Amino acid sequence: MKYLDEFRDPELAKGLLEEIRRAVTRPWVIMEICGGQTHSIMRYGIDQLLPDEITLVHGPGCPVCVTPLETIDRALVIAAGDDVIFTSFGDMLRVPGSNDDLFRVKSRGGDVRMVYSPLEAVKLARENPDREVVFLAVGFETTAPGNAMAVKQAAAEGLSNFSEIVSHVLVPPAMEAILSSPACRVQGFLAAGHVCAIMGWEEYEPIAAKYEVPIVPTGFEPVDILEGILKTVQLLEKGTPGVENKYLRVVREQGNPAARAVVDEIYEVCDRKWRGIGNIPRSGLKIRAELAAFDAEKKFEVEGIVTEEPAICISGEILQGLKKPHECPAFGTECTPTTPLGATMVSSEGACAAYHKYSRKGLS
């Protein structure tokens, strides 16, 4: 298949590994931002094929993982209400709140439905004018345009029974939060190609300059990731910070202007709490004040629900690249994909789920 098979070519991968071995002369720590990249690294054993000098750590690149616990608890209260149709993507239904999840609410009679597009939720609102339809809108810049379009469409149709719980998060502020931490060990980044496809890479340039790090947007196949690692190592070895795009078939410097415009029309930047990490200033999106009628947290008056993370889960340290999943004492015992303690295990893109799926116990 074009743009897929050639990026899984073993000979190309071997050649890139050889180039990486020739390029590296000292230890480097590189963080991949996206959970999809983490799973590809685990699936293909890329981390085990790299020279010992290169350490890959896994960043906060799974939107399910970083959705705050209080957002889940607010969603649970709304979903249990009478005359509510609660919708979201499938991976959100199993994310544990403080004492419950959306699947359990559904099992007790709540009308919780999985959708494949937020516009399906708009359709439900159109077809059920006597019921409130709520969509749980999470994700990075990648999913924000589609979720914004749902609000735009509902507003255009005058569907006052549609609203969203918005928990969108933005990648650049999270990178800054990691780099500014005294405990930071990250020296270079593989940036998520699908985020850059929407937003471009211009927002990364001041970060690369300020913290003197290389940031390399790349894709998700083995050759993509190896090309990204090679370029990151080359920049590190030369002491040259900056942004270098290695996802040329998808990413442009300005991203997708039409997608960015609809996001700016519907949402505005806000401070956002990240699960396992805490509050990061100006790292999220919320519905604009003039569209507050479509803000489910205001409509259902659940903004006052605030909860704390369980102490046993070390997902925050994992999401910041400070620890790896197998270093958690609960990993694979109390915490498994069927009995997850934290979102890094429950999410299909979470680092803990990747380590468990590919049997990485006590490995780098």
Reading the chain (364 residues) residue by residue, the pLDDT tens digits are: 566 778 889 999 999 999 999 999 999 999 999 988 998 999 999 999 999 999 999 988 788 888 988 999 999 999 999 999 999 998 888 888 888 899 999 999 999 999 999 999 999 999 999 999 999 999 999 999 999 999 999 999 999 999 999 999 999 999 999 999 999 999 999 999 999 999 999 999 999 999 999 999 999 999 999 999 999 999 999 999 999 999 999 999 999 999 999 999 999 999 999 887 889 999 999 999 999 999 999 999 999 998 877 667 787 788 888 888 888 888 888 888 878 777 688 777 788 888 988 877 654 4
Largest pairwise CA distance in the chain: 66
Judgement on whether residues 330 and 250 belong to the same structural domain of the protein: no
Sequence-ordered list of residues with C-beta below 8 angstroms from that of 203, at least 6 positions apart, any chain? 172
**What is the DSSP-derived secondary structure letter of residue 90?**
G
What is the pLDDT at residue 364? Answer: 45
Judgement on whether residues 225 and 351 belong to the same structural domain of the protein: no
Q: Is 363 domain-assigned?
A: no
On whether the CB atoms of residues 325 and 351 are closer than 8 A, the answer is yes
Locate all alpha helices (DSSP H) within the chain, ordered by sequence: 10-23, 35-43, 46-49, 63-66, 69-79, 102-107, 118-127, 144-157, 171-180, 193-199, 204-211, 222-238, 257-266, 296-299, 315-319, 343-346, 351-357
On whether the CB atoms of residues 169 and 140 are closer than 8 A, the answer is yes
Judgement on whether residues 130 and 265 belong to the same structural domain of the protein: yes
What is the pLDDT at residue 65? Answer: 82
Judgement on whether residues 325 and 238 belong to the same structural domain of the protein: no
DSSP per-residue letters across 115-132: -SSHHHHHHHHHH-TTSE
Judgement on whether residues 223 and 350 belong to the same structural domain of the protein: no
What is the pLDDT at residue 40? Answer: 93
Domain that holds residue 346: 315-357
User: Exposure pattern of 93-117 as b/e (b: 16+ CB <10 Å)?
Assistant: bbbbbeebbbebbbeeebbbbebee
CA-atom Rg of the chain in angstroms:
21
Distance CA 277, CA 267 (A): 23
**What is the DSSP-derived secondary structure letter of residue 8?**
G
Distance CA 320, CA 39 (A): 17
Judgement on whether residues 118 and 226 belong to the same structural domain of the protein: yes
Judgement on whether residues 306 and 331 belong to the same structural domain of the protein: no
Distance CA 362, CA 355 (A): 10
- What is the amino acid identity at position 248? L
Question: How many structural domains compose the chain?
Answer: 2
Q: Is 324 domain-assigned?
A: yes
Q: What CATH number should be reported for the domain holding residue 91? A: 3.40.50.11740
Torsion of CA 87, 90, 95, 100, to 10 degrees: 50
Judgement on whether residues 175 and 213 belong to the same structural domain of the protein: yes
Judgement on whether residues 304 and 340 belong to the same structural domain of the protein: no
Distance CA 226, CA 50 (A): 9
Judgement on whether residues 175 and 295 belong to the same structural domain of the protein: yes
The full length of the chain comes to 364
Place of tokens 């999106």: 285
Sequence-ordered list of residues with C-beta below 8 angstroms from that of 109, at least 6 positions apart, any chain? none
Sequence-ordered list of residues with C-beta below 8 angstroms from that of 10, at least 6 positions apart, any chain? none
Beta strand 242-243 with 28-32: parallel, antiparallel or unpaired? unpaired
